Amino acid sequence: MKIGIITFHASFNYGSMLQAWALQTYLEKKGNQLEIVNYRSHIQKVIYHKPISFARKDVFFATLKRFVLYPSSIKPLYKKWHLFDTFLHEKLNTSKEYSTIKDLETAEFDYDMLICGSDQIWNASAPDATEAYYGNWFHGTKIAYAASMGQYPEKNAIDYYKRQINKFAAISVREEKARNILCNKIGVESVEVVCDPTLLLNGRDYGRLITDEPIIKESYIFFYTPVGLPFKYFSIVSKLGKELGLKIVTEKAYYSKDIRKFDIDEYVPTGPEEFLNLIKNATVVCGGSFHLQVFSILFHKDFYCINGDKDARTNNLLTKVGLQDRIISLEHPNERCQLHINYTDVDKKLVEYRDSSEKWLLRQVNCHYSIQ
């Protein structure tokens, strides 16, 4: 069976690219032929531009600001961009590139099915979440897997959703909030809540992307959060590093000027593969990213999640596997559980969570293919 996927595969962040690779890899393991629709809108290319870029006036000023405030960050940030670009072209099976919805409408796709998702493709407030991600340009069977409307779905976007979300053979979403909107506001009869595609695979599967050689040789805490300059986060991980006697490694080059007073020792330019390497080989993982928690669990790492009580995805995941005590609240940063995690019960709960999502996905793929 040939399946197309449309998702945020070219957003240069770890979660987006790794969830695209995960869904591609999972369905390939089940004997399908996969292709990611290489839709890259102009706005998305502007958002994820090279560190040195003069594509638009605002991008020019952002580049100029980076030169002035963080001159030493240019080289590592460029290396990081290159690592993402390499992953995109070497690890993802993509179609020819399409820039507009009209391009998609006039293309001749030979997919037996189109999957919309995962990631925040239905986040109406995301500038690059265009109408293309609802798949109305595809003239065949389509389903949604783990589509997300974001952390705070737009209440004033209901009419937009009603126009866009139609003719799906089946719909699954990543968050309970999205299911409530689709069922109660849009009138969709049946919506399943499923796991993020990254959780369809296990740690061994991701081992295919990681070199045997650790990037950092000695013991360390790996710290990551997508938040810009999270000084409260820095304080928490700095204190943890002193208590455990471990150096702290992060991945954002522009932190270098700001993190010295927090005893964060090293930053490493990282693409998706290097991100996994740094998590897998860390002694402790700490930060505020959903996918950081995902891979910490898959690699059986001791970890803490900062501010996870404010993120629905993270809260849902940690509750599902019985690890909600890993959360460190910004309001009570000194309150945390013991470091070591016993993964015996966690793995059992994760298997249950994964199995229900697998069954839903494979049922849709096999059912709708067999009736064509």
List C-alpha distances in Å: 99 to 45, 89, 201: 10, 17, 31
The tens digit of pLDDT for each residue in 105-147 reads: 999 999 999 999 999 999 988 888 999 999 999 999 999 999 9
Question: Greater confidence, 158 or 304?
Answer: 304
The tens digit of pLDDT for each residue in 312-333 reads: 889 889 999 999 999 999 888 8
How deeply is 191 buried, as exposed, middle or buried, from its count of CB atoms within 10 A (0-12, 13-18, 19+)? buried
Average pLDDT over residues 189-218: 95
Average pLDDT over residues 234-262: 82
Average pLDDT over residues 159-166: 91
Q: What is the spatial distance between Cα 174 and Cα 158, in angstroms, rounded to a whole number?
A: 18
Query: Would the pLDDT of 268 be above 80?
Result: yes
pLDDT score of 184: 93
b/e sequence 258-271, b meaning 16+ C-beta within 10 Å: bbeebebbebbbbb
135: Cβ contacts below 8 Å, ≥ 6 apart: 6, 114, 116, 142, 168
Question: Greater confidence, 363 or 175?
Answer: 363
pLDDT score of 226: 85
Residue 188: Cβ within 10 Å count: 18
Would you give the DSSP letter of residue 268? -
The tens digit of pLDDT for each residue in 215-246 reads: 999 999 999 988 766 788 888 999 999 999 99
List C-alpha distances in Å: 287 to 240, 304, 305: 12, 7, 5
Question: Greater confidence, 31 or 309?
Answer: 31
Query: Would the pLDDT of 305 be above 60?
Result: yes
Report the share of the chain in percent with pLDDT over 90.
66
What confidence category does residue 66 fall into, taking pLDDT thresholds of 50, 70 and 90? low
| 2-201+353-370: CATH number | 3.40.50
Question: Does 2-201+353-370 match 203-341 in CATH topology?
Answer: yes
pLDDT score of 15: 96
Q: CB–CB of 70/257 below 8 Å?
A: yes
Question: Greater confidence, 213 or 70?
Answer: 213
The tens digit of pLDDT for each residue in 283-302 reads: 999 999 999 999 999 999 99
What confidence category does residue 260 fall into, taking pLDDT thresholds of 50, 70 and 90? low
- The H or E element that residue 142 is part of is strand 142-147
Q: What is the spatial distance between Cα 1 and Cα 114, in angstroms, rounded to a whole number?
A: 11
Question: Greater confidence, 200 or 175?
Answer: 200
pLDDT score of 126: 87
For the whole model, what pTM was predicted? 0.92
Q: Strand 191-193 relative to strand 220-224: parallel, antiparallel, unpaired? A: unpaired
Query: Would the pLDDT of 371 be above 50?
Result: no
| Helix, strand, or coil (residue 286) | strand
Domain ranges of the chain: 2-201+353-370, 203-341
Q: What is the spatial distance between Cα 8 and Cα 31, in angstroms, rounded to a whole number?
A: 23
pLDDT score of 105: 97
Q: What is the spatial distance between Cα 254 and Cα 67, in angstroms, rounded to a whole number?
A: 11
Neighbouring C-alpha atoms within 13 Å toward the C-beta of 285:
30
Residue 285 φ then ψ, to 5°: -120, 140
For 203-341, CATH number out of 3.40.50.970, 3.40.50.2000, 1.10.3720.10, 3.90.1150.10 equals 3.40.50.2000
